[in-house]
Each structure stands twice: as structure tokens, then as C-alpha cells.
Amino acid sequence: MTILVTISGSMSDVIDCTLGKYPGRITMPSAWTTANLTYQVSNDKSVFVDLHDESGEVVTTVSASKSIVLDPDVFRSIRWLKIRSGTSATPVTQAATRVLELTTVR
């Protein structure tokens, strides 16, 4: 699944997780303005909130040209998802439109 973070943006479009497919791996593009990934989730596809676990905001450490395995259990209860460049406190805008590849698991 192709995910876009547009130029001067920090948030992806909405990702549909309602069909029982959950994020399992994300492949980063060769060009990426340095930032970790965080997530927003929604039950209704209109109101999104930041994803936290018992330790705080869920953060995935990434870098350009890497493929990162995600824990699908973190995402199993999610219906709608957005991926953010940076954190909720410090979003990082991308210098160009970036294409991320998301591999899902059941």
C-alpha cells in the first residue's frame, strides 16, 4: 500500500484498517527529512487523536531507505490511521512529497 506525505506536510492521508489488515512493515523512501513516525487514529474517520500506549506516544524510529517491522498488535484495534512525520509536539514537514510503502498483515 502506497502512503503519501505531501510536500510541506507532515501527515499522511487516511489509511483504512477496517478490512482486518493492519500495519506490519513500513518501507521508507530514499529521501526523508529526518523525523520519527507517530500515529493518529479514529473510530469514525472524522475525529483523529494521537496514538499512545502505556509508555506514552507511540513512536517508530525510522531513517531513509530502511524497512521497519511494526508490531501489528499495536494496530489491531484501529479502524482508521494516519501516519505523522515527527511527534504531536513537533511535527516535521517534508521538503518534498514522500512515498512510503506500508505492508499489511492479518
- Give this prediction's pTM: 0.92
Closest CA to 33 of 64, 74, 66, 71: 64
Name 65's Cβ contacts closer than 8 Å, sequence gap at least 6: 28, 29, 30
pLDDT 10s per residue in the chain (106 long)?
999 999 999 999 999 998 888 899 999 999 999 999 999 999 999 999 999 988 889 999 999 999 999 998 889 899 999 999 999 999 999 999 999 999 999 8
Q: What is the distance between the alpha carbons of residues 9 and 77, in angstroms, rounded to a whole number?
A: 27
Superfamily grouping for domain 2-105: Galactose-binding domain-like (2.60.120.260)
